[in-house]
Amino acid sequence: MSTLLWVLLLLLLVYSILPTILIRLFGIGVYKKGRGGNGIALTFDDGPDPEYTPQLLDLLKKHQVKATFFVLGSKAEQHPELIRRIHLEGHLIGVHNYVHWANAFLPPRKVRAQLNSSIAVIEKITGETPIFYRPPWGIFNLFDFLLMKRFRVVLWSLMVGDWRSSGGKERIIKKLLAKLSSNDIIVLHDSGQTFGADEDAPVHMLEALADFLDICKRRGFTFLRIDTYTQIDELAKRQPASWVKKGLIQVWLRWDRLFHWWFNIRPIDLHHPIFYSRVCKYKGKPLQLDNGEEIRSGDLVLELHFNNERLFHMMAESNSMVQLAVHMIREVQRFLPVLTAYLYMHREVRGVYGVTMIHRGSRQLGFTVEQLPEGLFKKASQLYLRLLLYVFHPNGRERLEASKSQLSPRIVAISVQELMKRYPVEPSMTAAETRSFAVQG
């Protein structure tokens, strides 16, 4: 290999390969995934496209979903009406260079010129200056670190290869559901005209996205623009929490994982674990349910445990115990048809029960709410749940003082028969959703 070629490879290594590796692996100066809430950020690259972007906007409007579009300045210039529509329909517009060239092959001056041209086009159309930037292919050069003072650079946590047509929509939806988790930033593409892409690939992306949005709605996910995501995370950073409390939270979450492993407690829905559960024998006094049924000692029940990591985020976002209860009720309402489907695979189970302090609204959902019998278990449960509130809530001490009368743990239970009557399995539930928890049974 000639000396010149070695020099060129070394320059490429220093100029682009090492900066890209550092940024992609360690997230230096970029935004890759949200940290708070239960949202998903949908982002779309390479547009606007006169054929596929209008279809995408119609689909997002139908589902009342807001997204983020990283557009090419050259295409924005060719299709100002699409940029105007994206903006007017409440979506966020970011920059994806003027043309789809990798920063590895551009000098710093050319990268700045591409960004300035794109910003000028978008400003002229919308009247607003974009501050979010995603370089093509997520490739950086050494001087892009300087851009991080001017832009919020956004990458992704979930990519599914939707720029290829092979496998159709089934491949895309399968990858989305297999890898999806709360706070993901998903990258999709509303154009197939860039290097390496199939021209008809957006057809399959749109078909998969339609199914995906239906599934996410049932699972209780919300969709956020990138700027909303970053605002939530900045707010979370400002919330008062000592290093001791942060340490306690981490210790508690690790204990949770150990507890779940030891007692074989698993999520109902592997891709959206709102609740964890185990099938076990009920031990205690007979539970007389509101529908006339009874759960007796020795009956098989599904014991529910709320996902404490999700609870932590919900507490951080709630201003009061009442607001927290409302959030939990909404989550439970979305979850119950999934629980019904799960119990069809466990016909031997007689009822579902758990112990919680946040039981407001449970009766309206069909659950029986009972006092815990006096004794050691009640005292231990009360101590555990109050400690949980103190550790997880940003203002836990104040909440405990203000809500002592409300913080009494209750048994919450429902029979399987009543659950199936009130929350039948939705006909539109897909096979992919069923497979997401079938491996447990």
Same domain, 23 and 145: yes
Same domain, 253 and 228: no
Same domain, 279 and 384: yes
Same domain, 227 and 259: no
Distance CA(260)–CA(128), nearest Å, equals 49
For residue 377, what are the domain limits?
241-438
Catalytic: 58? no
The domain that holds 181 is classified in CATH as 3.20.20.370
Give the burial class of 425: count Cβ atoms within 10 A of its Cβ; 0-12 exposed, 13-18 middle, 19 or more buried. middle
The residue written with tokens 């154009």 in the block is 191
Q: Out of 79, 96, 100, 189, which one is annotated catalytic?
A: 189
Beta bridge partners of 276: 267, 305
Whole-number pLDDT of residue 96? 97
Beta bridge partners of 300: 281
Same domain, 81 and 184: yes
Convert the chain into a string of H (helix), E (strand) and C (coil).
Answer: CCHHHHHHHHHHHHHHHHHHHHHHHHCCCEECCCCCCCEEEEEEECCCCCCHHHHHHHHHHHCCCCCEEEECHHHHHHCHHHHHHHHHCCCEEEECCCCCCCHHHCCHHHHHHHHHHHHHHHHHHHCCCCCEECCHHHCCCCCHHHHCCCCEEECCCEECCCCCCCCHHHHHHHHHHHHCCCCCEEEEECCCCCCCCCCCHHHHHHHHHHHHHHHHHHHCCEECCHHHHHHHHHHHHHCCCCHHHHHHHHHHHHHHHHHHHHCCCEECCCCCCCEEEEEEECCCCCEECCCCCEECCCCEEEEEEECHHHHHHHHHHCCCHHHHHHHHHHHHHHHHHHHHHHHCCCCCCCEEEEEECCCCCCHHHCCEEEECCCCHHHHHHHHHHHHHHHHHCCCHHHHHHHCHHHCCCEEEEEEHHHHHHHCCCCCCCCHHHHHHHHCCC
Domain boundary among 196, 213, 232: 232
Same domain, 172 and 213: yes
Beta bridge partners of 371: 410
What b/e sequence results for 326-351 when a residue is b if at least 16 CB atoms lie within 10 Å of its CB, and e otherwise? Answer: ebbbebbebbbbbbbbbbeeeeebbb
Domain boundary among 182, 206, 232: 232
The Cβ of residue 372 has, within 10 Å, a number of other Cβ atoms equal to 17
Distance CA(131)–CA(194), nearest Å, equals 23
Q: Tens-of-pLDDT digits for all 441 residues of the chain? A: 577 777 777 887 888 899 999 898 888 889 888 765 567 899 999 999 999 999 999 999 999 999 999 999 999 999 999 999 999 999 999 999 999 999 999 999 999 999 999 999 999 999 999 999 999 999 999 999 999 889 999 999 999 999 999 999 999 999 998 888 878 999 999 999 998 899 999 999 999 999 999 998 887 788 889 988 776 666 555 554 555 666 677 777 778 888 888 888 888 876 556 788 999 999 888 999 999 999 999 999 999 988 877 777 666 666 565 666 677 777 788 888 888 988 888 889 999 989 887 677 788 889 999 888 887 877 777 676 667 666 655 555 554 554 554 557 789 999 999 999 998 876 555 444 554 553 343
Residues 6+ positions from 71 with CB-CB distance below 8 Å? 47, 48, 83, 86, 93, 94, 95, 96, 118, 122
Tokens of residue 217, six digits: 């709605």
Strand order in the sheet with 410-415: 266-267, 275-281, 300-306, 351-356, 410-415, 368-371
Same domain, 248 and 372: yes
Same domain, 214 and 287: no
Same domain, 186 and 254: no
Domains: count for the chain: 2
Whole-number pLDDT of residue 441? 39
Distance CA(65)–CA(6), nearest Å, equals 50
Same domain, 152 and 259: no
Whole-number pLDDT of residue 208? 97
Same domain, 139 and 93: yes
Whole-number pLDDT of residue 438? 39
Q: Out of 45, 144, 211, 269, which one is annotated catalytic?
A: 45
Whole-number pLDDT of residue 36? 57
Catalytic: 260? no
Distance CA(271)–CA(174), nearest Å, equals 12
Whole-number pLDDT of residue 160? 95
Domain boundary among 202, 232, 262: 232
What predicted TM-score, i.e. pTM, was given to this entire model? 0.60
Same domain, 18 and 53: yes
